[in-house]
Chain A
Amino acid sequence: MERRLKAELWDKMHYLFRDYNDRMVHVELHYDYEINIDAFKTVLACFFEKAPVFHSSFTDNHISPYWVVKDYNIDDVVEVNDVDEEDLDHKINAFLCQCLPPEGDLQMKVLILRHSGKTTVCIIENHMCMDGGDFKSFLKTFCKNYNDYVINGVSPLDLRTGSRSYKSVYKDLSKTDSKAAQNLYKNLSVKDKYAHKFPFKEDSDEDYSFIARRRISAEKFPMIKAAGKKRGATINDMLTAAYFYSLYELADFNPFEPTTISCAIDLRRHMKDVSDTGYTNQTSWMQCRVPEKGRDIFETLQYVVRSSNMFKQDKFMGLYGLPLLSLGYRIMPHAASEEIIKIGYSNPLLAMSNIGILEVDKLALEGHEPTDGFMSGAVKYKPFVLLSATSMRNEMTLSMCVRGSDEDKLTVSRFFDLMEKNIDLLIADEMNTEKSVS
């Protein structure tokens, strides 16, 4: 008899997003030694056994969708290749830009590339199974289990399991807060009458998926932090301000028109303890709005800080609209609720996800910390964009996964140039101080 798993609210929502993105979350990690492939496969197989959603197929039942657990072989999940250094980037990009269909038997795939005594690990997973926040936690747990297994011979079974329901977000709230949060029926979709878009070209047959990245050097990270502190801004605010300003410059938006960027927020901020919950999605959006471009980037930063502070003051940040979505899925058959939700939900045209720090000590394998790496969100379909930011050893990686043409690739590259320029403007004082000290 087939084993079925319940399709949770966020599984269905991310399935609905198939019109906007390819639903893949990507990660790339570089190690300066050859990892133990057998151990890697054993640990991953154990994790797959503990979290069967990763080897399940999504069934889009018109009444109520569900996952069907499928059989697999770990060799189908993990592909191992020996490559030359010059082929490395090509292999990585080809792997990361593929899309795993939710109807397929596997929702996660790994590519291990061995080159000149080093190893590069690339992983893609279906966003329907878990978000960036949980993926990071998954990776850290994976590395811990791998190390315990290889070094101490401990079986790799220490993976948290439990409910994948969106309702876990209410479990640590006080009774009154929980009741109030479950009555937040407000629809907080982006309502930007100007509908500012990233300046991509029209869709064409030549469009392909690519991941554009830009590194911000490690020296700048503490400067961004310090400059932000001076102005009451977080690193996220600094990046968002640079994002806004660069967009106004790149797309030539009317400087007196407001623009909105949706910033991903981790709803686990409302949870004290996630150890009894399964890997899932707990992400919502915060609409960061600037009323105009601002005379300079510092004024833009002020607008961003004001906007994000307004959201942070709200104790129910990110929880709006969840009861409405749940109600939508509950009262109607899935096929009908999808259509209704599509009418009420507007996918953000401009979005940002600060995935945060990839802690090298927690991602170390057998004492070898990753030398480089990044994580990014799904490949968005035009005109939608998502800027992902991760940092490792203070080196920040900005990435944008797009399905577009070569021209679009150039536009994204120009955008990153502007981002760098505007970040430099924001930290100009710190850079000057640094120079004068040295």
Chain B
Amino acid sequence: MKTVLSFIDEAFRQMPETDRAYKFKMQLVSEVTERANELTHRGIKDEKVIEDLIISEHPDIKGEFENVLREEKHAKRRRRFVALNTLGTIAFCLVSLIAFFIHLFKVDNGLSWIILVAAATVISIYYTFLGCLRFIKKREIIFHITTRLHLAFSVMLVFALAFFVMLFKFNIIHSWVMFLAGAIAVLACDSLFAHFSHRRFAVFMYLAYIPLAAAVLYVILAVTGAVSWQAGWLLIPLALIADAVIIAVRLMIGKKENEEVEEDSVWNAD
């Protein structure tokens, strides 16, 4: 083990002498000793081979140490972030509760509960945003499905809140169309998620969502009287035209890529 220990000493000579570095060095010495025992147990009798093998497993001790420090820093930051979020959420819940009770006892117009719904909506949106940021990088589809469902739920919460405000505060007759508008927003957010997470088949989603959103929009506009039932249906063929344009553009891009593939035939030779 002499060679390995001198190798470790040599590596640490180039590093600043700190308590953390010393602790890491001791940990490393213990690890390599354990590893040497393991290799002997596995049947390697030649000590030189064992030493060379161990050294080959630690080509950059300085880098290893830097990684450990980085990981520790990262873990610390993560712990702080979790603590901050938990405390922030609790504080926000408390403030919302206080606001709810103040409103309940001071105003008492029967709408105090909207404050609680609004608070739940804000928390849901915040955590969905965090989830999206985290899961968007993961390739496993299960993370994407979870985030998309959460995203849809949050969007619907926002529109439900808008519905309550419109109905109970302003007494608007067609407030319920907010649920339909919410459906359109869900499709839009899902498309945006697909775009930013570089989903391979996102284009098929756009093709399905556009006519669907157009049909819902037609109902909203017609119900609210913004367009007549007779003329509004044109939105649907317009959506289909938009689909056709997307298909044409995608085909053109595909054709261009194929042409590039044909030209770039470095590996065509056998």
Q: Is the CB of A74 within 8 A of B261?
A: no
Select B42's contact among A73, A172, A174, A269, beta carbons within 8 Å.
A73
How many contacts A-B (CB < 8 Å)?
A: 67
A174–B53 CA distance with the chains assembled, in angstroms: 36
Question: Which B residue's beta carbon lies closest to that of A73?
Answer: B43
Q: Is there an interface contact between B48 and A155, defined as CB atoms closer than 8 Å?
A: yes
A179 interface residue per 8 A CB criterion: yes
A41 at interface, CB cutoff 8 A: yes
Give the distance in Å from the alpha carbon of A193 to the alpha carbon of B140 in the complex.
37
Interface residues of B in 251-270 (CB under 8 A from A): 257-258, 260-261, 264-268, 270
Within 8 A of A (CB), among B38-57: 38-39, 41-46, 48-49, 52-53, 56
Residues from chain A with Cβ under 8 Å of B44 in the complex: 42, 45-46, 74
Chain B residues lying within 8 Å of A315, measured Cβ to Cβ, are 261, 265, 267-268
Contacts A48-B42, A49-B39, A73-B41 known; list 7 others, CB within 8 Å. A42-B46, A71-B41, A157-B53, A174-B267, A176-B257, A176-B261, A180-B261
CA distance A10 to B267 in the complex (A): 24
Establish whether residues A179 and B42, one from each chain, have CB atoms under 8 Å apart when the complex forms: no
Please determine whether A46 and B261 come into contact, CB atoms closer than 8 angstroms.
no
Complex Cα distance, B139 from A331, in Å, reads 10
Q: Which of A38, A74, A180 has the most chain B CB atoms inside 10 A of its CB? A: A180
**B69 at the A interface (CB under 8 A):** no
A contact residues around B41 at 8 Å (CB): 71, 73
- By a CB distance below 8 angstroms, the chain B residues around A149 are 49
Query: Which residues of the other chain, A, contact B42 by a CB distance below 8 angstroms?
Result: 45, 48-49, 71-74
* Interface membership of B141, Cβ < 8 A: yes
| Docked-complex contact A156 and B43, CB < 8 angstroms | no
> Which A residues are in CB contact (< 8 Å) with B264?
174, 176-177
Determine the distance from Cα of A48 to Cα of B42 in the docked complex, in whole angstroms. 10
A250 shortest CB reach to chain B, Å: 32
Question: A75–B44 Cα gap in the complex (Å)?
Answer: 10
Size bin of chain A's contact surface:
20 to 34
Question: 3 nearest interchain CB pairs?
Answer: A74-B43, A155-B52, A176-B260
State the CA gap A70–B49 with chains docked (Å). 21
B49 / chain A contacts, CB cutoff of 8 Å: 42, 46, 149, 155-156
Listed in ascending order, the chain A residues whose CB lies under 8 Å from chain B are 38, 41-42, 45-46, 48-49, 71-75, 149, 153, 155-157, 172-174, 176-177, 179-180, 269-270, 312, 315, 330-331
| Chain A binding surface SS class | helix
The reply to whether A45 and B258 contact each other, CB–CB distance below 8 Å, is: no
Q: Name the A residues within 8 Å of B46 (CB-CB).
A: 42, 155
Name the CB-closest residue of A to B51. A155
Residues on the B chain within 8 Å of A157, using CB: 52-53, 56
Whether B267 lies near A38 (C-beta < 8 A) is: no
Residues in B130-186 with C-beta less than 8 Å from chain A: 139-141
Could you write out 23 A-B pairs with CB less than 8 Å apart?
Answer: A41-B43, A45-B39, A45-B42, A46-B49, A49-B53, A71-B38, A72-B42, A73-B42, A73-B43, A74-B43, A155-B49, A156-B49, A157-B52, A172-B267, A174-B266, A176-B261, A177-B261, A180-B257, A269-B270, A270-B267, A330-B139, A330-B140, A331-B141
The CA of A38 and the CA of B43, in the complex, are separated in Å by 9
Q: List, in ascending order, chain A residues with CB within 8 A of B140's CB.
A: 330
For B44, the closest partner residue in chain A by CB is A45
Inter-subunit contact A38/B53 (CB<8 Å): no
Question: In residues 229-270 of chain B, which contact A (Cβ within 8 Å)?
Answer: 257-258, 260-261, 264-268, 270
Residue of B nearest to A173 (CB): B267
Closest residue of chain B to A270, judged by CB?
Answer: B267
Report the minimum CB–CB distance from A275 to chain B (whole Å). 16
Partner of A46 from the list B53, B139, B141, B267 (CB cut-off 8 Å) is B53
- In the complex the two chains form, what is the Cα distance from A269 to B49 in whole Å? 35
**Closest-CB distance, A265 to chain B (whole angstroms):** 11
What A residues does B39 contact at CB under 8 A? Answer: 45, 49
Known: A41-B43, A42-B44. A177 touches B53 (CB 8 A): no
**CB nearest to A330 among chain B residues:** B141
B43–A45 touching, CB < 8 Å:
yes
Query: A72: which B residues are within 8 A, CB to CB?
Result: 42
